[in-house]
A and B are shown apart, each in its own frame.
Chain A
Amino acid sequence: MTTLAHPRVLTASRAAVGRRRRDPARWIFFAAFLLVTLAIMLPVIIIVLTAFKPASEVNAYPPTLFPHQWTLDNFQAIFSELPFARLILNSFGFAGGVTVFALVFDSLAAYALARLDFRGSRILLIVIIASLMIPFQATLIPIYQLVSQLGWVNTFAGLIAPRAADAFGIFFLRQFFVSLPRDLDNAARIDGASEWRVFRSVVLPNAVPALLTLGIFTFVNNWNDLLWPLVFTTDQEMGTITSGLTLLTGPGGIIPQGVMMAGALIAVLPLAIMFLLVQRRFIESVASTGLK
């Protein structure tokens, strides 16, 4: 059995490419999986298609997948229902601000933990990892109280400060920094570079994929976050897209679904564009960093 199978396995791997192209089973497999994927993507497809349906079609029976008549009315309506431009700006300010601060603060701390061996660094790392287990909800109330004592309610400072550093990010980057060859920075140190210099000119440029990955995670998570902006912003002018859209569905919110989907589509668009631009590097660096 083994002796028979042996040559077959080898030829299969060598001639595989040429034969695969003509293999009908392969295309049946592809078609079946494409159907599964389409079924899974149905909610996303629905968001896109409903956004372009006129109000009369959105609630028509029997329901249809595609609009008979394409319209942009929903997009106009969402801007008149909500201070939508302002909400988009707030989302960028909040998610973008958090991302910038978290990347800077996390990478600094991660560098110290990965490269500057000091007494207690291991204990500090364990404490940081342990704090990952704390549900955000468990500290939500005191955080809110602290922010309001600082007089930061309904300000960007208040929205951003509690997230300006994040234990997950420190851990994630530390794992990446540790994996960089030690000779890189020692060479710079021999040349008399300061630690700050080593960090900025040697370690950071080599950590771009990890920073990119963490940056996207942070941006997406905060852009999409509902609970924190919901409890934190009492002033609608300071809300984010995600929290703003939920206001529409709240009690008594009789907003047409088409308008809602238009809002949803606009809310997803920046993330989708960003993700599609960097997706290859993104998924690869999830694979290559300590996220396993």
Chain B
Amino acid sequence: MTTKHLERPGTNRGARHYRPPGQLGGRTPLNGTFKRRATIVGFLAPALIVLAAFVGWPMISALQLSFTDASGFGTPEFVGLENYLRVFTDPDIVQSMGNTALYAVLFTPVAIVVALLLALVINSPRLPFRGFFRSTLFLPFIVSLAVAAFAWSYLLDPQVGLLNYWLQAVGIRIGNVLQDPVLAMPTVVLVAVWKNFGFYMVIFLAGLQEIPTSLYEAAQLDGANGWKRFTNVTFPMLSNTMAFVVIVALIAALQAFDQIYILTSGGPYRSTETIVMQIYQSGFKDLDLGFASALSYVLLIVTLLLSLAQFLFFGRRGKDTES
């Protein structure tokens, strides 16, 4: 976020205080300083109190916890950087970080390509019943990941799974993908892509509808074919939308939990154990709160760094268009 477009359009940048327009003669309800302040505080207080109590304070508290051996029982003792050292040396944790990275690398591009392709088809004026497709393809997004994961594991069941059966009928044997150390991760990613593409698709649709048709007409007059029109008009005009979807997808990937919990619980052989699975495991199963907090902070820092990198990368390109 540049501070630039946080400014309301038409506001004089120097004028910080609310100044009633001249014709009001400066007599508005907000003119009295005390009353004005009270009003502002009144509007902000409920949300800020909740955010301070349940976002701000827990952040500070998690930081404190991460330097202790807190376990929910007795008095936590200060252990310095021990938890953080463990995060980077414990082979299990290092593996779960690798898994999380692998998950993000698989999920983000696949989800975005699928969402964009479907958005392009639905946006095409040649397609009849676009409204039907738009709402049908959005449905997976409102099915909970937990519920969707049941359906998928049933479809993929090696004995009675319909998908396995159909694939076998055409000569493809995939076996028990959820118990396969190599295939488990791609399967979990597939389920997540299936669940989330609808949301990204709608955002792409919104972006596509904002592209002026005159640009396409001009490109057509210049003899640009479909692919050229996509690379020279659609894609550049979508850069803002793309930036938003990339970061949302990446953050979602780093926080993957539900489908892994249901489908594999991190197995087989820890091949789908991600950082959030590990936080859940250490924090709520092993009651190793200090360590889980350290792990959380590492995740927080990685997320912030990625968001910052993404912002620096895309922030330059889409500067002229308001987001």
Chain A residues in the interface with B (C-beta under 8 A): 1-2, 5-6, 9, 16, 20, 23, 25-27, 29-30, 33, 37, 40-44, 46-47, 50, 58-65, 104-106, 108-109, 111-114, 116-119, 122, 124-126, 128-129, 131, 133-143, 145-146, 161-165, 167, 170, 178, 182, 186, 189-190, 192-196, 199, 220, 223-224, 226-227, 231, 242, 245-246, 249, 257, 260-261, 264, 267-268, 271-272, 275-276, 279-280, 283, 286-288, 290-292
Which partner residue on chain A sits nearest B275 by CB separation?
A: A137
Which residues on B sit within 8 Å (CB–CB) of A6? 221
Contacts A30-B129, A117-B16, A161-B54 given: A1-B223 contact, CB under 8 Å? yes
- Number of chain B residues whose Cβ lies closer than 8 Å to a Cβ of chain A: 111
In the assembly, what is the distance between CA of A189 and CA of B210, in Å? Answer: 34
Which residues on A sit within 8 Å (CB–CB) of B57? 142, 146
Determine if A116 and B257 form an interchain contact, defined as CB atoms under 8 angstroms apart: no
Contacts A242-B144, A264-B151, A286-B202 given: A145-B50 contact, CB under 8 Å? no
Determine if A280 and B129 form an interchain contact, defined as CB atoms under 8 angstroms apart: no
Determine if A279 and B58 form an interchain contact, defined as CB atoms under 8 angstroms apart: no
Could you list some 6 contacts between A and B, CB below 8 A? A43-B151, A65-B162, A135-B254, A220-B141, A242-B144, A291-B203
B255 on interface, CB distance cutoff 8 Å: yes
- Partner pick for A117 among B11, B128, B165, CB 8 A cutoff: B11
The 9 closest A-B pairs by CB, nearest first: A224-B144, A287-B206, A142-B58, A139-B58, A142-B61, A109-B47, A112-B43, A138-B296, A165-B50
B18 on interface, CB distance cutoff 8 Å: yes
Which residues on A sit within 8 Å (CB–CB) of B126? 20, 23, 25-26, 29
- Partner pick for B244 among A43, A199, A271, A292, CB 8 A cutoff: A292
Determine if A138 and B300 form an interchain contact, defined as CB atoms under 8 angstroms apart: yes
In the assembly, what is the distance between CA of A291 and CA of B275, in Å? Answer: 28
Which residues on A sit within 8 Å (CB–CB) of B11? 117
Contacts A135-B300, A189-B29 given: A50-B154 contact, CB under 8 Å? yes
B108 on interface, CB distance cutoff 8 Å: no
Known: A47-B143, A246-B262, A268-B142. 5 other contacts (CB 8 A): A25-B126, A117-B17, A124-B44, A231-B280, A287-B202
Determine if A118 and B165 form an interchain contact, defined as CB atoms under 8 angstroms apart: no
Determine if A226 and B29 form an interchain contact, defined as CB atoms under 8 angstroms apart: no
Which residues on B sit within 8 Å (CB–CB) of A133? 251, 300, 303-304, 307
- Partner pick for A140 among B28, B134, B283, CB 8 A cutoff: B283
Determine if B1 and A126 form an interchain contact, defined as CB atoms under 8 angstroms apart: yes
Which residues on B sit within 8 Å (CB–CB) of A161? 50, 53-54
Contacts A133-B307, A164-B50, A224-B144 given: A139-B59 contact, CB under 8 Å? yes
Interface residues of B in 55-90 (CB under 8 A from A): 55-59, 61-62, 65
Determine if B29 and A194 form an interchain contact, defined as CB atoms under 8 angstroms apart: yes
Which residues on A sit within 8 Å (CB–CB) of B255? 135-137
Which residues on B sit within 8 Å (CB–CB) of A105? 46-47, 50
Determine if B44 and A108 form an interchain contact, defined as CB atoms under 8 angstroms apart: yes
Which residues on A sit within 8 Å (CB–CB) of B54? 139, 143, 146, 161-163
- Partner pick for B206 among A108, A137, A257, A286, CB 8 A cutoff: A286
Which partner residue on chain A sits nearest B304 by CB separation?
A: A133
Determine if A40 and B143 form an interchain contact, defined as CB atoms under 8 angstroms apart: no
- Partner pick for B299 among A131, A135, A146, CB 8 A cutoff: A135
B3 on interface, CB distance cutoff 8 Å: yes
Contacts A43-B155, A165-B50, A231-B284 given: A63-B162 contact, CB under 8 Å? yes
Which residues on B sit within 8 Å (CB–CB) of A117? 8, 11, 15-18
B147 on interface, CB distance cutoff 8 Å: yes
Determine if A141 and B43 form an interchain contact, defined as CB atoms under 8 angstroms apart: no
Determine if A249 and B262 form an interchain contact, defined as CB atoms under 8 angstroms apart: yes
Contacts A43-B140, A138-B300, A227-B258 given: A131-B223 contact, CB under 8 Å? no
Determine if B323 and A292 form an interchain contact, defined as CB atoms under 8 angstroms apart: yes
B51 on interface, CB distance cutoff 8 Å: yes
